[in-house]
Amino acid sequence: MAKLWGGRFNKNTNELVDAFNASIKFDKRLYHEDIRGSIAHANMLARTGIIPEADGKKIVQGLEQILADIKAGKFEFEVSLEDIHMNIEARLTAAIGSAGARLHTARSRNDQVALDMHMYMKREVTEIGELLLAFEQALLTVAKQNEKTLMPGYTHLQRAQPITFAHHMLAYFNMLQRDFRRLQGVWIGADLMPLGAGAIAGTTFPIDRFQVAGELNFSEVYGNSMDAVSDRDYILEFLSFASILMMHMSRLSEEICLWSSTEFGFVELDDAFATGSSMMPQKKNPDISELVRGKTGRVYGHLQAMLVTLKGLPLTYNKDLQEDKEGFFDTIDTIKFSLAVYRDMLLTMKVNKERMAKAVHQDFSNATDLADYLVRKGLPFRQAHEVVGKCVAYAIAQEKFLPEISLPEYKEFSQLFEQDLLEALKPENCVAARTSYGGPAFGENAKQIVKGENLLQMQQQILVALNSKI
Ligand code: ARG
């Protein structure tokens, strides 16, 4: 098909160039935004008298028909028409004639594609927000089911101090809270209307950019036409948000891989959320967690690629910017899929409370509590640390754990030890005593769960508000 920009050319484009240059195979997913944006532009052109009222009407009707055709699968996208913008415009003009040819007045594909991407981003933010919320809800549910589930907490992947599984889940819940906040930041970056910037320097026509912004529910309009067509910060912000989210999910994935190993045996994935081996009949593999961990690298790659693409670009539009799409779209698909599958995997995962309890009763994660015990009896902490360190070394040599050492043996290390030390060593008491704000004590976590539920309600309201502005 003839190029919409063909006027100054005397030859057809080389076929390879057509194929190389075209973005239609991936930017066709912007069709809805492209059409909505064009309708708002046409309405504005008609209302400001830049094009005849009747042409405006024809354009809108024509575009609505194209939208219906695309939805019904009755639209053939053509590579020779390069991108979604020209595919739709060519079809419009073919359908309604000269009125269609007026649509691109006071507009360039540079501001048009920027508009589409902003609108697309806003819609995705709300959809991703819902999935994020559902995932947070799942973490909170698992936390609630495990308020009393004792387990060892780790530093350096060595047993550190007793905690509860609820406390561990709430740590991830808190990370996801921050992800939600970052997502709100992504929205702010996307909620800026670029149309009317033209190719670079606005237009000579008396357009009304605020009218377009109003019709499309944008809060603000870009105040500089060059910035409007060059800005990809909102994509970087999204990819940063996505990278951090994936990093959180990847860390959880790593833990689930460890926990579901025979060595830990802390959790068992539901059969519907694990996979087998083609050779080893006994295998039950945590593929979902491994894939999320693996896909994290891919999302980081998209962020890195975008940063590198942008760093050397002179203002304003350069075709390099077309490279903003595939990584962006892939990131959207990756995080949505990951969030959805992870939520259900978590909710169906069996938490092996007995195994966790057994682990925490057979380790030295109560050693700090023994030192704290001595501190309460008056010993400075540094000395208490030293004494208990010696007790631990003694116990290891005896192949025992701390509760199995007798009081007379303890007295050899410090006269401050009394029979009540056994109480201090019980993991449930170690947890119960950690009442510092944000600590794992049962009551503290219960409060954090209530707070979490309130936060989720607030997030739900935020999403309702954002949904009304897409
Ligand atoms: N397909 C292009 C993109 O995604 C649209 C803008 C093209 N603008 C241009 N001046 N060639 O960036």
pLDDT digits (tens, 9 = 90+) for 199-251: 999 999 999 999 999 999 999 999 999 999 999 999 999 999 999 999 999 99
Closest Cα to atom 2 of ligand 1: 322
Same domain, 344 and 396: no
Among 328, 352, 376, identify where a domain stops: 352
Q: How far is the CA of 219 from the centre of ligand 1 (A)?
A: 25
Residue of 195, 322, 323, 326 to test ligand 1 pocket, by largest number of atoms within 8 Å of CB: 322
Same domain, 173 and 67: no
Q: Among 322, 352, 382, which residue terminates a domain? A: 352
pLDDT recorded at residue 5 = 86
Residues 81 and 177 in one domain: no
- Do 223 and 325 lie in one domain? The reply is yes
At which of 316, 332, 352 does a domain end?
Answer: 352
Nearest to 85 by CA among 110, 59, 105, 58: 110
- Whether 8 maps to a domain, the answer reads no
Q: How confident is residue 253, by pLDDT bands cut at 50, 70 and 90? A: very high
Tell me, using a 6 A CB cutoff, whether residue 83 lines ligand 1.
yes
Q: Are residues 379 and 274 in the same domain?
A: no
Does any domain span residue 6? Answer: no
* Local structure of 77: helix, strand or coil: coil
The answer to whether residue 1 sits within a structural domain is no
Q: Are 101 and 132 in the same domain?
A: no
Shared-domain flag, residues 345 and 399: no
Active site residue 156: yes
pLDDT for 271: 92
Assigned domain for 458 exists: no
Whether residue 337 is found in the same domain as residue 413: no
Domain span at residue 293?
Answer: 110-149+163-352
CATH at 366: 1.10.40.30
* 316 preceded by a cis bond (ω within 30 of 0): yes
Residues 251 and 366: their CA atoms lie apart, in Å, by 25
- pLDDT digits over 158-197, tens only? 999 999 999 999 999 999 999 999 999 999 999 999 999 9
- 130 and 178 fall within a common domain: yes
CA of 322 to the centre of ligand 1 (A): 6
Tens of pLDDT along 308-328?
999 999 999 999 999 999 999
| Residue 456 is assigned to a structural domain of this protein | no
Ligand 1 atom closest to the Cα of residue 199 is: 10
193: CA distance to ligand 1 center in Å?
17
Distance from residue 45's CA to the centre of ligand 1 (Å):
22
> What CATH number did the domain enclosing 240 receive?
1.20.200.10
Residues recorded for the chain:
470
Ligand 1 lined by 232 (C-beta under 6 Å): no
HEC string for 381-392 = HHHHHHHHHHHH
Is 331's C-beta closer than 6 angstroms to any atom of ligand 1? Answer: no
How remote is the CA of residue 409 from the centroid of ligand 1, in Å? 79
113 Cβ closer than 6 Å to some ligand 1 atom: yes
Query: What's residue 3's pLDDT?
Result: 84
Which of 24, 106, 102 is CA-nearest to residue 58? 102
Six-digit token string for 144 = 């609630």
Share of the chain above pLDDT 90, in %: 96
Q: Mutate which of 38, 319, 320, 323 to test ligand 1's pocket (most atoms within 8 Å of Cβ)?
A: 319
111 CA → ligand 1 middle, Å: 9
202 and 84 share one domain: no
Number of domains in the chain: 3
**Four-residue CA torsion sign, 453, 459, 463, 464:** positive
Q: 195 and 37 in contact (C-beta within 8 Å)? A: yes
- Is there an atom of ligand 1 within 6 Å of 317 CB? yes
Same-domain check for residues 327 and 304: yes
Which position among 98, 156, 278, 406 bears the catalytic label?
156
Asked if 41 is an active-site residue, the reply is no
Q: Is the CB of 402 under 6 A from ligand 1?
A: no
Confirm or reject: Cβ of 322 under 6 Å from ligand 1.
yes
Which percentage of the chain shows pLDDT scores above 70?
A: 100
Closest residue CA from atom 4 of ligand 1 = 322
Same structural domain, 237 and 386: no
pLDDT of 113 strictly over 90: yes
Q: Whose CA is nearest to atom 10 of ligand 1?
A: 110
Q: Is 460 within the bounds of a domain? A: no
**CATH code, 31:** 1.10.275.10
Does residue 82 fall inside a structural domain?
Answer: yes
As a whole number of angstroms, the distance between CA 212 and CA 467 comes to 18
Is residue 156 in some structural domain?
no
pLDDT band at residue 149 using 50, 70 and 90 as cut-offs: very high
Band (265; pLDDT cuts 50, 70, 90): very high
